[in-house]
């Protein structure tokens, strides 16, 4: 019995995400990122394709590692200009019924007390379709603008993030009892004060004595996404995440990551399938294999090497501008870059990759594969990837907008449906229920559930 | 020639704003505050009534001055639970074409760097229809939850807010040149880096070296609203605001406030009509005067005295729970309460008002008048108010939802239009252009315009 495959769309409120330069492709609509209708039309398209959700990445800074300036990022539109992702939710929720919304927000930029309200509000307005991609790190360029640089080291950032999560769980799960909002018109009680509890949080980083400002939203805690891959990041993910985004160039790398994560989950007392894993992928397809390959060759002519290197320098934290494009990749003095190169080349000493090769390989799709071919060929590749890695689905990103998503919905989704491995309709309920068939609240085994309030008052005054 | 009158709707993302208890009125939809369609339907209604905008108040705290607990606020739904106002914008912008959005946000809860991006994003997504109601203060109950209490006194808060504004002006007006986004497909330049400038802000409260994260939105700086009435607050308003909200029980009080504001504007080098003033008002109307009065009597039966006193205790910063409802108002040991009482009674020693009278007077409409009558009677009252106070329009709030707004749109707007004193269509353009017939950017005389960038590079690389 072949495994089910699920799709999530990977987007960002900016001109270029994983394919800088592609905004120049004829008919590409990346410049419309700032227009509401780009997003509402995309949301409707994705819902026609039964995508679980749309995930919107975010940074609050500029990629200025490459050559020590933001020039290449600005010129290529790579993650800059970049608008607030959260504000896309209400309009997209208005035009859809089932699509989920995975919104990225860093624990570093907003205090958990007002942030808790933002997520509760989004969950209310979307009738329980909100997810939060927890980011614990930040670009130095962004941190400098809010006075944050150098205050916490990598591991401390995760301790800070753990306490941030604890405050949120207390506000979301432990402040308002179910049924606190009684709306008793006879007695004149909207909310029963006896059923709303101050959280009295007094920690190392935060002191939050009060009650949550919002009544319980459909999911209370939004569906939690995470993408940490460092050892400490992985520990954070298995403690908090319900879904994870992974990205890498080979089934071996992704398979190892997924196995490590599932083993750790069991070790920490959660089910090994408690985290739904999406693997980053780009799809280039059409009626035929030939048409798909022609598209791909077309796309690649628009790739912007400087823009790609600006993004990679940011991801790797290492200035690739120091090297000549013809330098062998072995000369890159960055462990992360060496690991990546090794993964791509398989360590084959006969593959003489240069910095240019690395840039061109990642020009479309970033640090993850591009499936190029007919609908059947793409379906084969995706099914093999799932079998070999134990991921649950794909985080589908784009080369061109909205063309890449249109092609997936038009060609690949029906092919997978014909094979009986892709949903033909949504499950009812909140995002958590659609994803897991259970909910709408956090499962009992999740650490957030420990902060759940036990009803201590059962009647209105 | 009678003066033109304009309307703005005064709302809040919570069950009760100025009329606690009214959620119990049969058919009232206040409980739907958390539902997206409450807001999109309201936005469409207001646009049919050619309202300038919808203004959404906000607090990030609970009214816990009354009896020293939040119980009365919770029971009456008075400003709690309360959801994020900003997230209403994109869905409401999607279903309307002209309506403006005045969003309340405090300078105390978010760093100006990410906040600047939130407003720019909202201005992009609404095609230039965003306004910001600048709040410089906070409820102590909210401040305690983010570790803020006692850090700044009243006047320091305004100094802090002035610098907060300076950072924002630099980001909105002085970072990206017009035309910085060139989208040159031949040269492969999305943004010309030479036309994007770090703001290098180094002040007492904030250090923000970098560039703004967003490309220029239609208005750049959102339309600025303010409601400060203390001497320092008024100074802040005339320095920054383009529109002001005033509220008071008599034409004399409002007239004095408006005159002071317009005189101060001229003193500070701005035009005396540079601030568009809306006066808070509630309207109860129907086909006939009798029908309107019957409605009003009906509404008043649902007023919640405890809820009203909870709000007033918060507004006045003085616990009205210390008094018996039958105590004469002269016994209230609060200057603000005494001033208000004097304004209402006109100082007539024969009017023996009690705490109960004060609560009942403010039970619908808060500290501002309620016009009760036929469409013609209401129109007469509003026209007289405008003549006597020199305000430009009304901030219309509600007794019942959405009934109060429906009645204004059905009865009062057509009556005013027949009299030739109310717009029959919107002006084209952004919110600033619709309001002032000029824009879309800040006028030259506004202090924010001083931070405007002079183009220092004129060609793409």
Record the tokens describing residue A132, joined without a space.
């939060």
Q: Which residues of B touch A34 (CB under 8 A)?
A: 124-125, 215, 217
Is the preceding omega at residue A402 within 30 degrees of 0, hence cis? yes
Q: Is pLDDT of B458 > 70?
A: no
* For range B415-441, the mean pLDDT: 97
Average pLDDT, chain A: 93
The nearest CA of chain B is from the CA of A405 a distance in Å of 22
A8 versus A454: the higher-pLDDT residue is: A8
pLDDT-based confidence at residue B4 (cuts at 50, 70, 90): very high
Reported confidence tier of residue B155, pLDDT bands at 50, 70, 90: confident
Q: What is the pLDDT of residue A155?
A: 79
Orientation angle between helical segments B251-267 and B375-389, nearest 10 degrees: 40
Residues of B in contact with A61 (CB under 8 A): 210, 213
Residue A461 pLDDT level (bands cut at 50, 70, 90): very low
Nearest to A15 among B111, B144, B190 (CB): B190
Average pLDDT over residues A266-286: 96
Report whether B453 contacts B170 (CB < 8 A). Answer: no
Residue B18 predicted with pLDDT over 60 = yes
Using a CB-CB cut-off of 8 Å, the residues of chain A touching B69 are 193
* Residue B113 sits at the chain A interface (C-beta within 8 Å): yes
B112 forms bridges with which residues in the sheet? none
pLDDT of A399: 96
Nearest to B307 by CA among B38, B40, B78: B78
Angle among Cα A314, A309, A299 to the nearest 5 degrees reads: 125
| β-strand partners of B132 | B103, B224
Structure tokens at A421: 């491995």
Task: Give the pLDDT score at B291.
Answer: 98
pLDDT (0 to 100) of residue A455: 65
B2 at interface of A, judged by CB pairs closer than 8 A: no
Read off the pLDDT of each residue in A376-381 and give the average, rounded to a whole number: 98
Of the two residues A123 and B228, the one the predictor is more confident about is: A123
User: Nearest-CA residue of chain B relative to A215?
Assistant: B81
Taking only residues 121 to 140 of chain B, the set having a beta carbon closer than 8 angstroms to any beta carbon of chain A reads 121-122, 124-127
Higher per-residue confidence, B358 vs A174: A174
Q: pLDDT by residue (tens digit) across B304-351?
A: 999 999 999 988 889 999 999 999 988 999 888 888 888 888 778 788
Q: At what angle do helices A251-267 and A231-240 cross, to 10 degrees?
A: 60
Contacts of A268 (CB under 8 A, 6+ apart): A238, A239
CA–CA separation, A441 vs A221, rounded Å? 7
Contacts of B121 in chain A (CB under 8 A): 13, 83-84, 87
Look at residue B254 and give its three-state secondary structure: helix
A460, pLDDT greater than 50:
no
Average pLDDT along chain B: 93
Distance CA B38, CA B34 (A): 8
Mean of the pLDDT values across residues B356-382? 94
Closest Cβ opposite residue A94 in set B75, B91, B113: B91
Inter-chain contacts counted by CB atoms under 8 A, chains A and B? 222
Residue A200 pLDDT greater than 50, yes or no:
yes
| pLDDT tens column, A243-271 | 999 999 899 999 999 999 999 999 999 99
For residue A245, the model assigns a pLDDT of 94
Helices (H), A108-186: 112-125, 140-143, 154-174
Count of H helices and E strands in chain A?
A: 16, 13
d(C-alpha B292, C-alpha B404), whole Å: 11
Considering only alpha carbons, which residue of chain B is nearest residue A302? B188
Substitution target in A75, A123, A145, A182 with the highest count of B β-carbons within 10 Å is: A145
pLDDT in tens, A215-232: 999 999 999 999 877 788
Report pTM. 0.96
Neighbour tally for B369: CB within 10 Å = 20
Give the closest-approach CA distance of B21 to chain A in angstroms: 7
Helix (H, G, I), strand (E, B) or coil at B49: coil
Q: Would the CA dihedral through A125, A130, A136, A142 be positive or negative?
A: negative
CA distances from A160 to A69, A135, A136, A237, B301 (A): 30, 12, 9, 14, 51
Q: What are the extents of the domains in chain A?
A: 6-148+224-419
Residues of B in contact with A145 (CB under 8 A): 113, 208-210
CB nearest to A114's CB, from B31, B110, B210: B110
- Determine, for residues B144 and A189 on separate chains, whether the beta-carbon distance falls below 8 Å: no
Separation of alpha carbons A410 and A408, rounded Å? 6
For residues B122-135, give the mean pLDDT: 97
* Chain A positions in Cβ-Cβ contact with residue B144 (cut-off 8 Å): 209-210
DSSP letter string, B138-206: --HHHHHHTT-TTSS-HHHHHHHHHHHHHHHHHHHHHSB-TT-EEEETTTTEEE-GGGB----EE-SS-
Q: Which residues contact B410 (CB under 8 A, 6 or more apart)?
A: none
pLDDT higher than threshold 50 for residue B438: yes
Select the residue of A23, A36, A109 nearest B93 (Cβ to Cβ): A36
Q: What would the pLDDT profile of B250-277 be if each residue is shown by its tens digit?
A: 999 999 999 999 999 999 999 999 999 9
List, as one string, the DSSP characters of A6-71: EEEEEEESSSBSS-TTGGGSTT--GGGGGSHHHHHHHHHHHHHTT-SEEEEE--SS----GGGSSH
Q: What number is the average pLDDT over the span B272-301?
A: 97
pLDDT at B455: 65
Segment A268-292 mean pLDDT: 96
Is the pLDDT at A66 greater than 70? The verdict is yes
pLDDT in tens, B204-240: 999 999 999 999 999 999 999 998 777 888 899 999 9
- Convert the pLDDT of each residue in B23-67 to its tens digit: 999 999 999 999 999 999 999 999 999 999 999 999 999 999 999
Q: Residue A24: which of B15, B36, B185 has the nearest Cβ?
A: B185
pLDDT average, residue stretch A166-176 = 98
Chain B residue numbers with beta carbons less than 8 Å from the beta carbon of A36 are: 90, 93-94, 125-127
Top CATH class, A6-148+224-419: alpha beta
pLDDT value for B420: 98
Query: Which among A21, A114, A190 is the nearest to B60, CB-wise?
Result: A114
Phi, psi values for residue A217, rounded to 5°: -90, 170
Bridge-partner residues for A135, per DSSP?
Answer: A106
What average pLDDT does the segment A413-427 reach? 98
**How large is the average pLDDT for residues A405-409?**
98
> Would an 8 Å CB–CB cutoff place B152 in contact with chain A?
no
């Amino acid at each position: 019995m072949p495994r089910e495959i699920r799709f999530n769309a990977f987007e960002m409120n900016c001109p270029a995400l994983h394919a800088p330069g592609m905004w120049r492709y004829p008919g590409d609509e990346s410049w419309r990122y700032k227009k509401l209708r780009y997003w509402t039309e995309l949301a409707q398209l994705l819902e026609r394709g039964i995508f679980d959700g749309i995930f919107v990445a975010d940074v609050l800074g500029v990629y200025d590692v490459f050559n020590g300036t933001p020039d290449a990022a600005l010129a290529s539109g790579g993650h800059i200009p970049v608008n607030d992702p959260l504000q896309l939710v209400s309009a997209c929720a208005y035009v859809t019924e089932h699509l989920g919304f995975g919104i990225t927000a860093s624990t570093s930029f907003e205090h958990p007390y007002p942030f808790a309200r933002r997520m509760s509000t989004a969950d209310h307005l979307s009738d329980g379709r909100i997810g939060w991609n927890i980011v614990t790190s930040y670009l130095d360029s962004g941190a400098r603008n809010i006075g944050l640089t150098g205050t916490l080291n990598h591991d401390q950032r995760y301790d800070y993030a753990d306490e941030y999560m604890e405050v949120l769980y207390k506000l979301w799960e432990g402040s308002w009892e179910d049924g606190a909002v009684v709306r008793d018109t006879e007695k004149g009680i909207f909310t029963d004060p006896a059923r709303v509890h101050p959280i009295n949080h007094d920690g190392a980083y935060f002191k939050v004595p009060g009650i949550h400002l919002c009544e319980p939203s459909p999911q209370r805690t939004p569906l939690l996404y995470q993408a940490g891959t460092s050892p400490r990041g992985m520990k954070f993910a298995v403690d908090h995440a319900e879904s994870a985004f992974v990205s890498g160039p080979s089934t071996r790398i992704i398979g190892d990551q997924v196995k490590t994560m599932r083993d750790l989950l069991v070790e920490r007392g959660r089910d090994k399938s408690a985290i739904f894993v999406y693997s980053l992928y780009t799809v280039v397809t059409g009626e035929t294999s030939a048409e798909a390959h022609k598209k791909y060759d077309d796309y690649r002519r628009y790739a912007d090497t400087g823009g790609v290197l600006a993004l990679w320098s940011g991801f790797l934290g290492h200035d690739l501008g120091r090297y000549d494009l013809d330098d062998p990749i072995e000369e890159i003095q960055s462990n992360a870059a060496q690991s990546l190169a090794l993964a791509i080349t398989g360590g084959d000493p006969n593959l003489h990759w240069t910095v240019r090769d690395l840039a061109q390989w990642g020009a479309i799709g970033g640090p993850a594969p591009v499936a190029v071919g007919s609908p059947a060929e793409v379906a084969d590749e995706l099914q093999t990837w799932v079998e070999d890695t134990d991921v649950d689905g794909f985080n589908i990103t784009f080369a061109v907008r909205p063309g890449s998503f249109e092609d997936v919905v038009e060609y690949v989704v029906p092919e997978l449906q014909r094979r009986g491995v892709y949903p033909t309709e949504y499950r009812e309920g909140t995002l958590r229920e659609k994803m897991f068939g259970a909910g709408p609240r956090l499962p009992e085994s999740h650490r957030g559930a420990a902060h759940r309030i036990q009803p201590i008052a059962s009647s209105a005054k």
